[in-house]
Structure 1
Amino acid sequence: MLKNFIKIAFKNLLKNKGVTVINILGLAAGLATCLLIVFYVVDELSYDRFNQKADRIYRVNADIKFGGNSSSYAVTPPPLSAALKAEFPEVERSVRMIAATEIRFKKGNEYVNENKVVYGDAGIFDVFTLPMIDGDPKTALKEPNTIVLTENAAKKYFNSIQVVGRYITLVNSNVNYKITGVLRNIPSQSHFNFDFFMSMPSLESSKGNNWNGFSFTTYALLKPGANGNLFEKKVNNLFRKYFAQQPGFSWKNFEKSGNAISLTLTPLTSIHLTSNRQYEFEPNSSMEYIYTFSAIALFILLIACINFMNLSTARSANRAREVGVRKVLGSSRKNLILQFLAESLLTTFFATMIALVAAWLLLPLFNQVSGKELNISAQTLSWLLPALLLIMLIVGVVAGSYPAFYLSGFEPIKVLKGRLSTGFKGGGFRNFLVVMQFSISIFLVIGTLVIYNQLNYIRNKDLGFDRNHVLVVKNTIGLSNARLFKQQVKGISGVANASLSGFIPTGRLRQPNSVFTNKVPNSRNALFTEIWPVDEDYLQTMGMALSKGRNFSSQMPTDSLGMIINETAARMLGFTKDPLNKTLYYIPDGGPNNSVKQYHIIGVVKDFNFSSLRDNITPVVILLENNNNALSVRFNDNNLKPYIAQIQNKWNTLSPNQHFEYSFMDDDFNSAYRTEQRTGSLFLIFTTLAVFIACLGLFSLAAYAAEQRNKEIGIRKVLGASVSNIMRMLSADFIRLVGIAFIIASPLAWYAMHKWLQGFAYREAIQWWVIAVAGLGAIIIAFITISSQSIKAALSNPVDSLRSE
């Protein structure tokens, strides 16, 4: 019986090649898109799950509200980790890490800058599953000046992984670090990807007992069975206890002023998709994108299934007599339903095979757009093939169920007497499906337009600094005479200005610390801020403007104890009216209180965005100090490339053994929004596919509508109807359906994208024209799709359609 069903189904599919091809193409496109999105979602959900103890690892975060400004951080005070282990029996292990920036190692005679460097406590290999090829993980980071490399790093510097016991030179401090272990490369599905793990005892600031400084990423491994929610409350109480021990501090007075500091926990496996705090090791993704792309996959698959339903029911006139004859000859409705489902499943099988091949071929392009490294491996096939079989069955049954029940329900007497209303007329449910298709398509079009509008807003927003025409030369800290290099670069014709500094607005290098309004520092008079060491040319090079006061001057020696603060810092300090010459106190490098230095404010720089536009601007304090981490060069010309060779020649003269590395500041800025850019590109691709599949079905429906009404068209033409009248008649029903879809989709899309925009502190409201363009575009696309069939029907010879009458 099953063999017979398949045989007849195959013959029916071959008999109607045009419809079969359209159905298979539509389903294949939907399934291929669904597969690619499934690969993406599975990859995103797998982050950090390679850790064997992942379900018991938590990262401690800090939420700070001070002076009316709220910020969330992925860092905590240095002594927190030891306190957690000492005071809570449910803590099996607690460890810290802190990313090291502008690190240079010696490779032969060359100095190589490395960005994937971190200081870590000795216990990190007990907490995280980072298999060690060579070395003892328990003692590898116990001693000062020890380091663990990954396979990639070991091969890069020594062309071998047998390097335990050898030394690598840290150029920054001219210290030889002993290699005590080699790790397997960290999986890409990790919220941190470091190649160099330096021992925490090597870092002087890790030994302090400063509860007022937030700079270390802290993890806690809980014992099996420990309650994470209860532990979070204990952690916060512990922090409040130690934080309150600072001289003169009172939680009551602190909170009475509207301020607050609290610690929270994030499960390890949730960091990548739920955490976008300041000082993350790497930019994370968002759970919203998982929900969004999953919904898009289902929507596109649904559109493809709707096409199948619509075409099958629209062809009911062609198959009505077949059903009638079969019933007269004794076929039961059950057998007819199984026959139609067999056709649907066979169509879905062919579509699935095509979709699998298409997804495999498109995977490299998808990786390029999404920034992933997805591949189809044996492990992937182990879950992919059963999933494909399940999807094929579900799609086949869903797409074929309505046509099967609809067609098998025809009464044979009415069919054979020609009294059954079939085909395009009376298709209320089919109209509903068309409306659903285009509602989804219009929803996606509006979403795509809003995303691109927001990205365009980000690109063109006044950030408070000018990122255009600026070249950033990196690693200048390794130059023997960075000041001379700066002066030589400034002497190049076409260079407007140049500045040596530790921090730039588009960089990831950060230095969180506190300044105080009192000589006796405590949390009551503290401002948690960023400290940026710069030179006297910094503001002009960055295109920043002062709202009050003056810039640093090399002609004024007292400026070494001067500060320039941003407007947010002035507001949070209560200095909005007259901030100039006010005194602030600062403890350099987190040293002891007896190293407190007194500064006076000489200027206030207008607020500028140095973090993501998802976050509000936070306080910044700028100091005049010698810091040679990077040289920023502003040019008068738009084309910067001709100047690069001149700058590199001067670099090679001063430092022939060091790599010359540079970037463009506008590119650095754009990279911070790479996730949104990739999301926008994926949205555009998926939306185009959704509209294509919907139009594919609409094209076929229009063809069948014209076929069902060919005699009516012939009579109308004989009676004098023009081509435009015929086209208007055939198009009106479909355009009306698209209009209804627009009315349904517009408010839903507006609400969903309004919620998405809430993730940005700086955003552009959804413009009315975005909605209008989406609606008008859908109507135009639908009309163009229908018009080819409408014109063909309108231009046909009425004699051909009326000959049999």
Structure 2
Amino acid sequence: MLRNYLKIALRTLWKSKGYTTINVAGLAVAFSVCTFLFMTIYRQLTFDSFHADGDRIFQTYYFANSPDKASRSGIMPLPLGPALKASFPELEGVTRVRVGTKSLVAYKDKYFDKHIALTDPDFLRIFSFPLIKGNRQQALQNLSGIVMTESMARTIFGKQDPMGKQIQLGQPGHQKNYLVTGIMADLPDNSSIHCDALIRVESTDNYRQDMKNWDGNSYTVYLKTPATIDQATLENRLRSFAKNHFARTIADLKKEGAKPDERGDLFAIRLQKLKNVHFDREIMSGKGAPVALVYALGGLAVFILLIACINFINLTIARSFTRARELGVRKSLGALRHQLFIQIWGEALVVCLTGFLLGTVLAYSLMTSFNAFFDARLDLSHLLKPGFIGLMLVIFLVVSLLAGGYPAWRMTTLKAVDVLKGKISIKRPGLLRNSLIITQFTISCLLICCALVATRQIDFLRERPLGFSSEQVISIPVGNRTNGRMMLQRFRDQFKQDPAVVSITGSSVNLGRGKDRVTSRSMTGMDYKGKNIQTDWLLVDYDYVKTLHIKLLAGREFDPTYATDSINRVVITESMAKEMGVSNPVGLFFGSDTSGTRSQIIGMVADFHLYAPTDKPAPVTMHLSHHEPINYLFVRVNTPNPTAAMTKLQNYWQKVAPQAEFMASFLDENVDAWFQNEQMMSRLFSIASGIAIFLSCLGLFAVALLAIEQRTKEIGIRKVMGASAASIVVLLSRDFVKLVLIALAIALPLAWFGMQQWLNNYPYRVSISVGAFALVAVGAILVALVTVSYQTIKAALMNPAKSLKTE
């Protein structure tokens, strides 16, 4: 019996090769796109999900209900971890983590740049990263112990056993010896923590002094609760802890007129579950993935699958009516409803399975291109994970039941007598077919509108002044193979007479995202007249303001002719002055931390975006130092050929520091990389809208072809009665245009509302243009007309004699 069903299905599909090809092509494209989207969603939703007892692991964060707005930050002070452990001994573990720039690792005569995380022994007790060698309880007990990843051990030691071997960390002359006490598996790509090795935080310079500073924030703090304590209970107990350790901050908030939030807190230390940390961009300082983007990806996948299913349903129902007599005869000969259902659904299942397999092959072949275009970091191994395979099988079954099951059920409900008498036909469009076409074009127009608004917002953000000039500025990460201060001075000496080089400066932090993809942030609390102000603490060198064309509003920038500039002198931004409540802060003093050190302001500059260009600029305090490391050089050039200037810098770099990789980039490129998430969203919506329009037009073309085939005799009669070809084209096209107009009436308001909510996340945003939506409407109508025009014109020009002979 099944063999006969399969034969009939294959013969029927082969007989209608055109419609079968349309269905298979539409489903293959839909399944391919959805494979990419669901793999991306699967990767995002499984972030940090591999840790044992992950529901009991939390990251701490600040909450402050300031008068202007509530704020949250996951960057914590160094002494918080030990204080939590002392106050809550029942916790199963507390660990601090800091992963900054790459450190120089030396072994014998070999040097490597690696990310070294500063942490505590509890790290390996809280997180279940597999430890291949060593004892999890003892690996980080020694201050000179280091636990490295398997790939780092292989890079440094090759096939040798790394356990017990000694390496050095730090710049030559300031190196410290570390003993390898453990080897852990490489950290998964979907981990919020990324590093090559772990060392104790106590081994850093000035640790004892920094342990007294509750104003400097540079660490993330994780804790693991016992099974008997839930999140709400611990957060409630943390209120008294916060009052004891952050009394001054709470007092400052009260002076500013801050009011408690709905939970009764002015200031609090709260907990975020580890599984949610990746999506909490506020406590991750903008590094996490926006959860809205994940939801958008899921919506796109569902929309594209829905459009493909609509095509399938429309064509299957339409073609099933052309086989009505066959089904009527089979019913009259005794065929049961379930037998007819299996036959029709079996044909749909064959088409779905073919489309699914082709889509999988297409996704497999395009995986590399997709990763490169979206920086998606998808792994082919995800395709073979049981969870993902199960997800895709469920999707396949749902699609096959939805796309093939409904038409099969619909046809089995027809009465054999009505079918054989010819009372069943689709000469008049039904409500279902029209509704499905409207749904298709509603989704397509919705996606196009979203893509247009997202693109305009990105262009707006790019064109907005950043507070500094990125044109013809070259950013050079120094790395760990050379001394940043030495390189800065060498560059100044070498190019001071070069007319193409305007100025050179250095800093501890890059602007934008350079080729090293490293972002570090240091914040501190400044005390001014009893008010504690949180500010970004930025190390700069001479000519920083000049090189980046930052506007100087008052005072001066750092000048080498003033020897005292490197001793407690700072330059602040306008936002910092507003936080202090003064219009001209030059000459004023304030305390920089709890040690009582006082700094004097020598200049004020306009606000500039140091980290997130999508947010308002935060207060920044710039200081000068002759001993803190310079991590980045900035070179402003003035030449019609900036690439040649880059080559000149590279040649000199390779001459004086051949051991260090030259990873320079233009600051324009760095700034563009800031908009990676927005660019990804724009690209996804653009590609998805293009695919949606393609699939919608594919379905519309096939439905129009079927509808015109069934009205062939009517068209012939109209031509014999004197109807012109133009009037017939209008007659055949207007029904489809009406459906597109209804789709636009639904899609445009939805798009306006949805994108308005998305734009509200940005303090700087565009207004939604009526003209852009009008352009979408005109474009949709034209696309629909072009799609059906070939068939309508062909039918209108057909010889009436042939039309009237059509059965």
TM over 0.5: yes
Where does residue 391 of structure 1 map in the other structure?
395
Q: What's the counterpart of residue 500 of structure 1? A: 506
The residue aligned with 1:236 is 239
Partner of 1:551 in structure 2? Answer: 557
Note if contact 1:272-1:285 (Cα within 8 Å) is conserved in structure 2: yes
Partner amino acid for 2:525?
S
- Conserved in 2, the CA contact under 8 Å of 1:144 and 1:199? yes
- Residues 1:639 and 1:46: Cα distance change in structure 2 (over 3 Å): farther
Aligned-residue offset at 1:369 = 3.0
Within 2, Cα distance between the matches of 1:213 and 1:171? Answer: 23
| Structure 2 match to 1:510 | 521
Q: How far apart are the structure 1 equivalents of 2:321 and 2:254?
A: 81
Q: Which residue of 2 aligns with 1:190?
A: 191
- Using the alignment, how far apart are the partners of 1:597 and 1:375 within structure 2? 52
Are 2:472 and 1:469 aligned?
yes
Equivalent pair of 2:243/2:250 in contact (CA under 8 Å): no
1:407 and 1:598, CA in 2 relative to 1: closer, same or farther beyond 3 A? closer
Residue number in structure 2 paired with 1:735: 737
Q: Is the 8 A contact 1:95 1:218 kept in 2?
A: yes
Question: Could you tell me which residue of structure 2 aligns to residue 121 of structure 1?
Answer: 120
1:261-300 mapped onto 2 (5 Å cutoff): 261-279=267-285, 283-300=287-304
Shift of 1:696: 0.8
- CA deviations over 1:468-510 (Å, ceiling 9, x no partner): 2111122263464632322323433311211122234336232
Deviates more, 1:68-77 or 1:437-446: 68-77
Matches of 1:544 and 1:357, distance apart in 2: 52
Say if 1:330 and 1:164 are closer, same or farther in 2 by CA, change over 3 A. closer
SS at match of 1:471: strand
The equivalences for 1:567-716 within 5 A come to 567-576=574-583, 578-587=584-593, 593=595, 596-599=597-600, 601-626=601-626, 628-637=630-639, 639-716=641-718
- Shift of the 376–611 alpha-carbon distance from structure 1 to 2, 3 Å rule, reads closer
1:466/1:404 CA distance change after superposition, 3 Å? same
Shift of 1:13: 1.8
1:697: Cα distance to partner?
A: 0.6
Partner of residue 751 from structure 1, selected from 726, 747, 753: 753
Q: 1:139 — aligned with what?
A: 138
Distance 1:31 1:654, change over 3 A: closer
Shift of 1:202: 0.9
User: Could you say what secondary structure the match of 2:494 adopts?
Assistant: helix
The aligned counterpart of 2:170 is: 171
Deviation at 1:756, TM superposition (A): 2.2
Contact conserved, 1:60 with 1:219, CA < 8 A, in 2? yes
1:532 counterpart residue number? 538
Which stretch shows the higher mean deviation, 329-338 or 226-235?
A: 329-338
Residue 308 of structure 2: aligned partner: 304
Report the 3-state secondary structure (helix = DSSP H, G, I; strand = E; otherwise coil) of the residue aligned with 2:512: coil
Match of 1:488 in 2: 494
Alignment match, 2:263: none
Q: Give the unaligned 5+ runs of structure 2.
A: 261-265, 514-518
Output the amino acid matched with 1:570: A
Measured after TM superposition, the shift of residue 241 of structure 1 is 1.8
Q: Residues 319-363 of structure 1, C-alpha deviation per residue, up to 9 Å, x if partnerless?
A: 222233223333344433333222222322222222222222222
Deviation at 1:31, TM superposition (A): 2.3
> 2-side partners of 1:146 and 1:320: how far apart?
79
- Distance in 2 of aligned mates of 1:604 and 1:77: 27
Which residue is equivalent to 2:351? 347
The question of 1:400 aligning with 2:400 is answered: no
- Map of 2:61 onto structure 1: 61
Q: Distance in 1 between the 2:252 and 2:637 partners?
A: 51
**Residues 520-579 of structure 1: CA deviation (Å, up to 9, x unaligned):** xxxx42211112222331111111112333333333345445432111111111012x32
User: Per the alignment, do residues 59 and 385 of structure 1 end up closer, same or farther by CA in structure 2, a change over 3 Å counting?
Assistant: closer
Identity of aligned residues (%): 33
What displacement does 1:638 show?
A: 5.3
Mapped to 2, the partners of 1:804 and 1:209 lie a distance apart of 93
Question: What code does the residue aligned with 1:473 have?
Answer: I
For 2:440 and 2:383, the matched residues in 1 are separated by 35
Shift of 1:734: 0.7
| Displacement after TM superposition at 1:376 (Å) | 4.2
Deviation at 1:257, TM superposition (A): 4.8
Residue number in structure 1 paired with 2:342: 338
Question: How many Å separate the matches in 1 of 2:475 and 2:683?
Answer: 28
Helix, strand or coil at the partner of 2:279: helix
* Matched-pair contact (CA < 8 Å) for 1:67–1:573: no
How far does residue 128 in structure 1 lie from its aligned partner after superposition?
Answer: 0.9
* Matched length: 787
Distance 2:474 2:330 in 1: 78
**C-alpha contact 2:77 2:215 (8 A) present in aligned 1:** yes
Q: Against the structure 1 CA distance between its residues 46 and 206, is the aligned structure 2 distance closer, same or farther, given a 3 Å change threshold?
A: farther
Deviation at 1:262, TM superposition (A): 2.3
Tell me the equivalent position of 1:78.
78
TM-score by length of 2: 0.91
Q: Deviations over 1:110-167 (max 9, x none)?
A: 76544x2221112211111122333333333333343322122223333346223333
Matched, 1:795 2:797: yes
Residue type at the aligned position of 1:747:
P
Name the CA shift for 1:252/1:107 in 2 (closer, same or farther; >3 Å).
closer
CA contact (8 A) 1:154 1:163 kept: yes
TM-score by length of 1: 0.91
8 Å CA contact 1:186–1:194 kept in 2: the answer is yes
1:688-722 deviation per Cα after TM superposition (whole angstroms, max 9, x unaligned): 22221111110001111221222222233334433
**Matched residue of 1:497: which SS?**
strand
Secondary structure in 2 matching 1:529: strand
Among 295, 318, 322, the residue aligned to 2:322: 318
Relative to structure 1, the CA distance from residue 469 to residue 158 in structure 2 (aligned partners, 3 Å threshold; closer, same or farther) is farther
Contact 2:705 2:791 (C-alpha < 8 Å) held by counterparts: yes
* Counterpart for residue 521 of structure 1: none
In the superposition, relative to structure 1, how do residues 90 and 425 fare at CA in structure 2: closer, same or farther (>3 Å)?
farther
Letter in 2 for 1:778: A
RMSD (Å) for aligned C-alpha atoms = 2.7
SS at match of 1:348: helix
Contact 2:383 2:389 in 1 (8 A): no
- What is the identity, as a one-letter code, of the residue corresponding to 1:305? C
Preserved CA contact (<8 Å) 1:141 1:200: no
Partners of 1:646 and 1:531 in 2: CA distance: 33
Report the equivalent of 1:214: 217
CA contact (8 A) 2:524 2:537 kept: yes
Q: Which amino acid in structure 2 is aligned with residue 126 of structure 1? A: R
- Shift in Å at residue 60 of structure 1? 0.2
C-alpha displacement of 1:801: 0.6
Q: CA deviation at 1:386?
A: 4.4
Q: How many angstroms does 1:741 deviate by? A: 0.6
CA distance in 2, matches of 1:728, 1:295: 36
CA contact (8 A) 1:132 1:182 kept: yes
SS in structure 1 of the partner of residue 218 of structure 2:
coil
Tell me if structure 2 keeps the 8 A contact 1:49–1:269.
yes
Change in Cα spacing, 1:249 to 1:318, as seen in structure 2 (3 Å) is: closer
